[in-house]
Amino acid sequence: MKKISNTALTVVLILLSTAPFQNLSAQESGNLLNEQVNKLGQALFYITQYHLDTLNTDVAVDEMIETLMGKLDPHSTYIPAEDVQNMNEPLEGNFEGIGIEFAIIRDTLVVVNPVAGAPSESVGIRADDRIVAVDGEEISSSVLTNQKVFGLLRGPKGTRVSLTVIRRGEKEPLYFEVVRDRIPIHSIDAAYWAAPGVMYVRLNKFALTTQDEFIDAFRDLGEMPRGLILDLQGNGGGFLGAALFLAEQFLNKGELILFTEGGKTTRQEVKASGMGFFINTPVVVLMDERSASASEIVAGAIQDWDRGVIVGRRSFGKGLVQQLFPLNDGSEMRLTVARYHTPSGRVIQTPYVMGEKELYYKDFMERYERGESFNADSVRIPDSLAFRTLRENRIVYGGGGIMPDVFVPADTTYYSGFYIQLARRGIINEFINGYLDTERERLARLYPDFESFDKGMTSVEVPFAGLLDFAATFGLVPKEEELATSGNHMRLQMKALIAARLYGTSSFYRVINPVYPEYSKALEVMNGLL
């Protein structure tokens, strides 16, 4: 039988104090809190000491905390100890392991690419290698999953793992001993010249490494861009510090980036230091309904100071400040303590009802049903939430999320039923992995760099017929109208996936971006700014 610590019980009961104590004096609040702590402690003591069955107190306390979290705002969360590391890894910008991108193809672990400079590359592991055993234990099976692979290959820096590899062209298995190390997780997916003098940067998250990655993206250009397209589509946020760094790249010294206010916290302001690289550079920011939190802070500051143009669709609307509270068993609570405001005073957070998380996300889904993704006039914002920008006195709106200056409807014309099934079941990716298994070396000889590949691999060269044959093995056969609707897009996506496997992630976006209306509009707007 496990004993619950007084610390854990105290933390649970602190959460109960939010509503009942609002109109009480500090002494009365303290007395009531002590009574509730004692009451719950007594109940747990009696249950564990006298109930005929044994209670798993670890699970019970976790469930109590999760129940209390459910009574709060939709973004306050409880993270059990075993999940803390996995939650933090993407934001910390690294994990510890051997460093491979992989896919599970027909029950076998296949190396898609070793991470550049990682231990796997250093010992000679190559793309298309099959890892069939780890520390002498065979792993190829129908129950092999991504999570199992993580468990086998990740581990503390400095520890060793033995791999048995089957390589095409080799008659016998190869054996590698890999010393695990810290592996970077990049927050910048792509950085390239989108047009003469115009740099495109796609940021997938705000992490501890974002500042260094952003600086590195411009370090070896030879010239500073005359314009910058910052793509924050699908960027759900991350570390506030990274967002503040990025925002102040475009603002003058002393200009407000954001301020926070909360029921129990005083107003806090953050202003630009004046050390930005792009204070006078035209900027276009791409956003959509999946852009949230730190993305909205950056976009809100740029919009309020009339420093750039926001292109796309209304962002998600997550503007709550979470503070981390570690618990004694290694678990964590992330509690909302304040709201973010843009420099003009707009509240980023979409309205919510305490304890109604399902309703909160249902309201978000109803935006699509109301047509927000396709018609700017479908966005419901009252005039009372109109604000003025700080330089040009333009009208911008609060009420949740960042409204774009230039609306671009979502393009769903290529979403045929056939394409959706292929995407949901991962069939396109699986086919590309198999295709490159046999064709990688030929393509590398034929196209030694991305430029030659982009020009040489036309839509005719893309193995689209092979994909259709492969899809048929899963019982998926397209109708003629479906090929007319989505065939060209699927060909381009296949080309982009092949480019990413051969030349890196940035190449995927160099291929696929030109067909997206948001990207085309961003270039058009930038052309008007230069």
> 78, 66 in Cβ contact below 8 A?
yes
Give the position of tokens 């249950």.
47
pLDDT mean across residues, the chain: 86
- 372 and 515 co-located in one domain: no
Residues 297 and 380 in one domain: yes
Identify whether 301 is part of a domain: yes
What is the rounded CA–CA span in Å between residue 102 and residue 149?
Answer: 9
- Residue 77 within a domain: no
As beta bridge partners, residue 397 has 386
Q: Are 98 and 155 in contact (CB under 8 A)?
A: no
Looking at residue 262, which CATH number applies to its domain? 3.90.226.10
Domain boundary among 160, 184, 208: 184
Question: Which residues, at least 6 apart from 82, have a Cβ–Cβ distance to it below 8 Å?
Answer: none
Q: Are residues 55 and 123 in the same domain?
A: no
Does residue 331 or residue 300 have the better pLDDT? Answer: 300
One domain, residues 345 and 364: yes
Nearest to 399 by CA among 476, 325, 319: 319
CB proximity list for 437: less than 8 A, separation 6 or greater: 105, 110, 128, 168
pLDDT class for 114, splitting at 50, 70, 90?
confident
- Residue 99 phi/psi, 5° resolution? 85, 70
Residues 430 and 354 in one domain: no
Residues 397 and 453 in one domain: no
Using the CB atoms, write b or e for 444-460: b if 16+ within 10 Å.
eeebeebeebbeebeee
* Distance between CA atoms of residues 65 and 9, nearest Å: 10
> pLDDT digits over 115-148, tens only?
766 888 878 888 778 899 999 889 988 888 877 8
Same domain, 458 and 437: yes
d(CA 357, CA 360): 5
Q: Identify whether residues 338 and 359 lie together within a single domain.
A: yes
User: Which of 184, 202, 236 is the last residue before a domain boundary?
Assistant: 184
Q: What is the mean pLDDT of residues 47-67?
A: 85
* 173-187, 220-234, 359-373, 430-444: least confidently modelled range: 359-373
- Strand 77-79 with 332-341, pairing: antiparallel
Provide mean pLDDT across the span 478-484.
92
Q: Is 266 a domain residue?
A: yes
Query: Is the residue at 86 inside a domain?
Result: no
SS3 178: strand
The answer, as to whether pTM is greater than 0.85, is no
Domain tally for the chain? 4
Can you give 425-479 as a three-state secondary structure string?
CCHHHHHHHHHHHHHHHHHHHHCCCHHHHHHHCCCCCCCHHHHHHHHHCCCCCCC
Q: Compute the distance between CA of residue 423 and CA of residue 403 in angstroms, rounded to an integer.
A: 30
Q: Are residues 254 and 202 part of one domain?
A: yes
Q: Classify 414 as helix, strand or coil.
A: coil
In-domain check, residue 526? no
The Cα–Cα gap between 108 and 141 comes to: 7
Residue 160 structural domain: 94-184
User: Considering the domain boundaries, does residue 477 fall inside one?
Assistant: yes
Judged by average pLDDT, the poorest of 104-108, 429-433, 480-484, 518-522 is 104-108
Residue that terminates a domain, selected from 169, 184, 199: 184
Any bridge partners for residue 231, and if so which? 202, 286
- pLDDT for residue 457 is more than 70: yes
From 118-122, 164-168, 212-216, the region with the lowest mean pLDDT = 118-122
Whether 84 maps to a domain, the answer reads no
How confident is the model at residue 103, as a pLDDT?
79
> Do residues 302 and 197 both lie within one domain?
yes
Q: Which residues does 189 contact at the CB level (< 8 Å), separation at least 6?
A: 202, 203, 204, 505, 506, 508, 509
C-alpha 191/C-alpha 526 separation (Å) is 16
Strands 227-231 and 283-287: parallel
Q: Report how far apart the first and last C-alpha atoms of the chain are (Å, whole number).
A: 70
Indicate whether 324 and 427 sit together in one domain.
no
